[in-house]
Amino acid sequence: MEAALAAARPWPAPGKRLRYSNFGAALLGEALSRHDGIPFEQVIYNRVTAPLGLPETHIQRRPEFGDRYIQAHSRGHRPIPDWDLGSMPGAGALRSTAHDLLEFDHQNLVPGDSRKPEALITAQQPRAKANRWVQVRLGWHLSPLRGTPHTVLCHNGATAGSTSYLGLLPELEAAVVVLSNAGRTVDALGVRLLIGIEKTLRLS
């Protein structure tokens, strides 16, 4: 990673254009690890999963989870090994469960709750505009939920054989989590679920 960073040439110049960067996330993870003087997984435990009560979110496989780990598959449905991100775990090495991610959703949704960690509030503040429809926040994207007057706060993830989507409707205090063990995006499914939830709440 250090060699890649030394060879990197930002384009366009910083501050000129918004670009999503997994490498940037990896670099942030390394910076946090060096700042705290501990491995990145321990940083995540100390700063995120322990304070938020997410016991099923981690990086290294754990024996106690046994066969709860699901085999990843390619777009062609072939079993493939897990990605090993090596020196760049900040780019997307976390494993989690629907239970933990829904708990994370819940903690991000509770409005005006003094117990909500300040970091969650800070992360939801607008940072930049990607285009006329999408706002960028810290780890989040905010965009209109088509066919509704609401906006969705979301993020997705993917490795070669696993995909995920997490979406929140802050105004309705509703959320969805979609996890798949196939290398195909589940974003559209997540959006359809949110649209269905919005319609159900509107008509109820």
Task: Report the share of the chain in percent with pLDDT over 70.
Answer: 97
Biggest CA pair distance of the chain: 57
Sheet holding 141-144, edge to edge: 128-129, 135-136, 141-144, 151-158, 163-169, 174-180
Q: For position 117, what pLDDT does the model report? A: 80
81-to-57, 94, 95, 203 alpha-carbon distances in Å: 19, 15, 14, 45
The pLDDT, as a whole number, for residue 114 is: 58
The model's pTM: 0.90
pLDDT band at 73 (very low <50, low <70, confident <90, very high): very high
In the chain, domain spans = 2-203
Is the pLDDT reported for residue 113 higher than 80?
no
Please tell me the total number of residues recorded for the chain in this structure: 204
* The CATH number, out of the four listed (3.40.710.10, 3.30.450.40, 3.40.50.300, 3.40.50.620), of the domain defined by the range 2-203: 3.40.710.10
Q: Could you read off the pLDDT of 128-142 as tens digits, one per residue?
A: 998 889 999 999 999
| 115 pLDDT higher than 90 | no
Look at residue 56 in the predicted model and tell me its pLDDT: 95
**How many Cβ atoms are within 10 Å of 81's Cβ, its own excluded?**
9
Q: Give the pLDDT confidence of 31-54 residue by residue, as tens digits.
A: 999 999 999 999 999 999 999 999
